[in-house]
Amino acid sequence: MAHAARSNDEIPRPPLARPNLGLVAWALFGVLVAAFLAYGFVHSRAPMLRFNSPGITLDGTPGSIHTYGSIPELLDGKLGPKVSLSSLPTGPGVVGIGSLSELRGEIAIVRGVTWLSYAEPGNHTTVERSPTSPESAAFLALADVPHWRTERLDAPIPFDRLPSELEQRAARAGLDASRPFPVLIDGTFSGIELDVANGPALGAAKPTEERLHDTAVKFSSPSGAGSIVGFVAANEGERIVHAGQSMHLHIVLPAEKQVGHLDSATIEAGSTLSLPVPR
């Protein structure tokens, strides 16, 4: 016997599956916790802070030297962040030196590549190249040089002769050596002495030159290869060089994984010196 077809309304349907709201809530909670932990890990080196310093340009200097904070401000205890490193230019002409906020370490920028050195317990350091985590500087001197003039050094230059040698070579290159100018040296060095600021070791003490030297992480090497970057300022360099000095240099030694403030080194023959081409 033929059966009459049922209408759609008469066809039984399985009950709709109801979502387990408890499991969904726990899953969302887990995602949020994971994101929070990842954010905290990435930002653990330097908390996100507001930067209030617009920076100061030293007019008439090669590469238009730009400063955020200053050496005198550091010695006055103003160690907070002045600029985010992620906001800086990264072109091949960019060079710079500085100190991390709260004096947690040193900064060296060589041809747009940023190197950071962190002071660690036990007189150790940790070095990062092109860091991806946010960082800030309590002091930074920066220049963007459109064109470099490079020359080979035919004889070693001891550290005590380096300031006068750089000034003389700058003058011969047509630079006004009485004004601050950036310098970049690539090659091999001997008798290397460097240090890395160690703000945590200062505690609440005021960061005088003597205390900074005593608490810094120090590194020595009989020889090494890399880059020396910084500024020569026989005059008008109060913001970027330490009192009584006419140059402020940082050194990058990739093989040794060391970056820091250069205290001493002999520049060996065969190294190359780069100076800005006069505008």
Q: For 203-216, what is each residue's pLDDT tens digit?
A: 888 899 999 999 99
As a whole number, the mean pLDDT across the chain is 85
The pLDDT of residue 151: 97
Q: What is the CA radius of gyration of the chain?
A: 27
With a cut of 50, say whether residue 92 has pLDDT above it.
yes
The pLDDT of residue 132: 82
Does any domain span residue 272?
yes
Does any domain span residue 4?
no
Instruction: Spell 32-59 as b/e; 16+ CB within 10 A means b.
Output: eeeeeeeeeeeeebbeeeebebeeeebe
Does any domain span residue 45?
no
Reported as a single tens digit per residue, the pLDDT across 211-262 is 999 999 999 999 999 999 999 998 889 999 999 999 999 999 999 999 999 9
Does any domain span residue 25?
no
Measured between alpha carbons, how far is 262 from 189 in angstroms, rounded to an integer? 11
Residue 184, domain extent: 56-276
The pLDDT of residue 250: 98
Does any domain span residue 112?
yes
Does any domain span residue 132?
yes
Does any domain span residue 9?
no
With a cut of 80, say whether residue 27 has pLDDT above it.
no
The pLDDT of residue 40: 42
Percent helix, strand, coil in the chain, to 5, is 20, 35, 40
Amino acid symbol at 208: T
Assign 262 to helix, strand or coil: strand
Q: How many domains does the chain have?
A: 1
> CA nearest 106: which of 213, 206, 97, 85?
97
Does any domain span residue 194?
yes
Reported as a single tens digit per residue, the pLDDT across 35-82 is 443 444 333 344 333 444 567 888 667 778 999 999 999 999 999 999
The pLDDT of residue 57: 81
Q: Strand 66-68 and strand 272-276: pairing?
A: unpaired
CATH number at residue 179: 3.30.1330.80
The pLDDT of residue 203: 87
